[in-house]
Chains A and B, each alone.
Chain A
Amino acid sequence: MDNFKIDALVINRNLKAVTDRLIDQLKASNFFRTVGVVDGASRNDEISKYTVVRSEAPAVQAFGLRINRGYNLAISWWTSQSTPSDYLLLLPNDTELVEMKVNELFDSLDKKFPVAAIVPLPTHSPYKEILPNGRIGIGWHFNEGPIILSKDFILQQQKCGKEVFDPDNFRGYLSFIDLALRIYTNHFCMIGTALISFNENESHLQNHHDLIVTEEASRNADLLLKEGRAWLAQKYGLTDGISLENLVRLSFEEFMRQNPKLIHWKIR
């Protein structure tokens, strides 16, 4: 395959050294055509030299971008480039890459799947035990983290006038479930893979939450649920997350019924 099928953008807020280390690792892999940083109003001495786009809006200065708005800013910048690649890898800067078999991933995908998103799995993900061939599988329920999006899906969403990630879901509550609903109802699919794998370095959130301008971990979890439920009620009129998950599961099942040839790739 062409090594330069994919670009990568990392979200940073006030963690220049950590971000630059991750960028250097991505660059050294030689898998990416463009590698850059999306900055959420970092203070001047914490802006990465690899920064390609910044937001300094007052709300971003006060609260940061967080995952959904950060990813949206990255997508917006990426699609405005003259020749974006076929895929875009988005990563929070607390990602520590463990496995990077990018060529094998794209070889495995071939033309079989109408891919909207590929979710690299964390090293301890239980999905790894049940992934078909231990490599890739089709699923619908993935936790938030790094994600690869296909240009086809991004452009389809932009045609609808939608941002890929809901900016009103500030903390990203069930963000990938919300995304999966649009993926499967638009006849795309979502892939989980062990061919690219990572760890989330939680020490940044634990030790530097004041620098990143976020809340400490347990407060963050409380707010994720509280604000997330408010978002869920407002957007869908649902009172609990499992209702949304069930809706997505049914859309996924319908997709699988319509694509029986893909059944062997189903994660189960």
Chain B
Amino acid sequence: MKDLSRFESLYSSMRDERITMLGVGPMSKRIVEETILLANQLKFPIALIPSRRQIECHDLGGGYVESWSTEEFVKFVRDRDYGNYVILSRDHSGPWQFKMFDDAQQVISHESAMEEAKISLAVDIELDFDILHLDPSLGLNLGRSELGVQEDLIELYSFCFGRRGGQSITYEVGADEQSMVPDLPSIAEEKFQKIANQLKSQNLPLPKFYVLQTGTKVKETRNIGSFSTHIPVKDMLSPSFQIPEILKICEKFGILLKEHNADYLPDESLRWHRLFGIPAANVAPEFGVAETRSLLKIAGETKENWFIELFGERVISKKRWEKWLMPGSAATDRDKIEIAGHYHFADEEIKEAIYKLESKIRSKSFDLDKILRKSIRESIDRYLRYFGYYG
């Protein structure tokens, strides 16, 4: 049984100091390792936030990060987290969040998708995840009504809470898609009130975290939301108006705002997280992109162009970059490789190629592992610095 008070007290000490808790997407094994090291060095919690596509339980086939199953991932983290500073926080768990289509390319039925989500959540609970983010919002793209999505949320919440160990989990809800603009405060309040009423009617407690839009939206390798702009934008309200209002709503309900998609925000916007008092923020693809860029850079500098060609061909052909492109994007092939390279770090052929690259450049006095870790650490460090983890 997990020591819930440890998480609560760690987290409350962060709140006392108005530190924004960072959630790191486990985009690669190195990113996971560096996150564990940083949390233990700083002695402050950092959350690892695997989505179901990244890390999934053994029975459902595992995820794309290091081909890890949830069971392997949790063991890997807990074995190395000697100070117990890493928060395991499942991100976006819900129907269709692992697979949308079956082998015949048909959309998986609602019933099956919910069943799979429950299998996944049951394993998360069994493995003592600290936080579960329940997000059935993909249903909105598949013809589910807003009410239907809310019902899915309550069903999943009730399922988790009713399981052994489920009552000591911290829950996060929020069924919104990322948006360029923050939620309008009074409308966000109405939405949460509905969720709160439904939870109450089922004798379920309020979640600890609520995902609301703060004006962050990731496309390509940029944040195009209003939180990253420094001039007034037509038809957009300023985050400095909306975020404090949203925080007041959360305070009224006794819940905490969780920001998603904080990747690539400029330093000034990061600084404002702590000053506004945003309790927690998630960053994912930026760290994977940092590792990929570093990998491509060192391969280029050491004239190992065979690696860039092989890696590039794999990334381009698999098209995992597609969903990140802006409409009418001018992204080059190099941009696409940087955007989606991390999806392929665990592909057998790419793994072998990285080992080969590592060994070839070692003879030229380059330590690939050290170089990649440095770039990851710098990328994560920017957030930790502005979120208040240092001094």
Q: Could you tell me which A residues sit within 8 Å of B by CB distance?
A: 122, 124-127, 129-130, 139-141, 143-144, 173-174, 200, 221, 224-225, 228, 239-242, 245-246, 249, 268
Contacts and interface: CB of A to CB of B under 8 A. Distances in A.
B299 to A, nearest CB: 35
8 contacts: A127-B237, A130-B184, A143-B234, A240-B268, A242-B230, A242-B240, A242-B268, A249-B244
A225 B245 contact: no
A122 B245 CA distance: 22
Given A130-B186, A144-B232, A246-B240, 16 more contacts: A122-B234, A124-B235, A125-B235, A126-B235, A129-B184, A130-B185, A130-B187, A140-B241, A141-B240, A174-B232, A224-B231, A239-B268, A241-B230, A245-B238, A249-B241, A268-B185
Contacts of A130: 184-187
B20 to A, nearest CB: 15
Contact of A249 (B231, B232, B240, B268): B240
Contacts of A144: 232
B355 interface: no
A245 B184 CA distance: 18
Contacts, number: 55
Contacts of A139: 241
Contacts of A239: 268
Given A130-B186, A225-B230, A240-B268, A122 B235 contact: yes
B275 interface: yes
A143 B185 contact: no
B236 interface: yes
A127 B182 CA distance: 12
B308 interface: no
A224 B234 CA distance: 14
Nearest to B231: A225
A126 B236 contact: yes
A228 B272 CA distance: 19
B181 interface: yes
Contacts of B181: 126
Given A129-B184, A130-B185, A246-B275, A221 B231 contact: yes
Contacts of B239: 242
A173 B232 CA distance: 9
Contacts of A174: 232
Contacts of A141: 237-238, 240-241
A239 B181 CA distance: 23
A126 B238 CA distance: 11
Contacts of A200: 234
Contacts of A173: 231
